[in-house]
Amino acid sequence: MVEQVITGETASNTKRDVAAMLIWKLLISNCVCAVVNCVDLHIGGVFPMEAGSGGWAGGEACLPAVQIALQDVNANTNILPGYMLKLHYHNSKCQPGLAAKQMYELLYKAPTKLMLLAGCSPVTTVFAEAAPVWNLVVLSYGGSSPALSNRQRFPTLFRTHPTANMQNPTRSKFFHPIVIFPT
């Protein structure tokens, strides 16, 4: 990167370099597993790719991020050596009923999944309530409902998104009067 600044390379060269690096990582990860005979570990996920009826379309950004993260993990031979992570996913539209059907499909269609990913709070609630029956871990990347913090109700749920309660102090500050000139 420093060399690019010194030589004055253009942004298009940088984009090309990034694309080449990603392709190289993919090739390395596939070559390593072709030689070593990697074991596939399957992850099931639902991503709200459209808002549906008042939902959240956060999957449009989260799905590509998860795919890139899995590529990075698979390309790094120091992380999970001998294993290859594979993602199987659906568009939940942030609708709990549709997501319940998709969860059933993920669980009962081969291959066996080792964990589930869920996005919005209503879908995360459905997944997290059912997951202990199958002894599955649920990772929520977007569930912010404070109800999801109940560890007795959701013992196998883990979140990467903070609970909405964490944002409440900031929200309450908006309702305090602003004093520009003290009296």
Size (the chain), residues: 183
Question: Under DSSP, is residue 158 helix (H, G, I), strand (E, B) or coil?
Answer: strand
pTM of the model: 0.71
| Whole-Å CA distances, 125 to 41, 58, 66, 90, 141 | 24, 17, 20, 17, 13
Q: What is the pLDDT of residue 19?
A: 55
Domains of the chain: 8-165 (3.40.50.2300)
In order along its 183 residues, the chain shows pLDDT tens digits of: 333 333 344 444 565 665 555 555 555 555 556 556 899 999 999 999 987 666 678 888 899 999 999 999 999 989 999 999 999 999 999 899 999 999 999 999 999 999 999 989 999 999 999 999 999 999 998 888 999 999 999 999 999 888 877 777 777 777 777 767 766
> Residue holding tokens 């059912």?
130
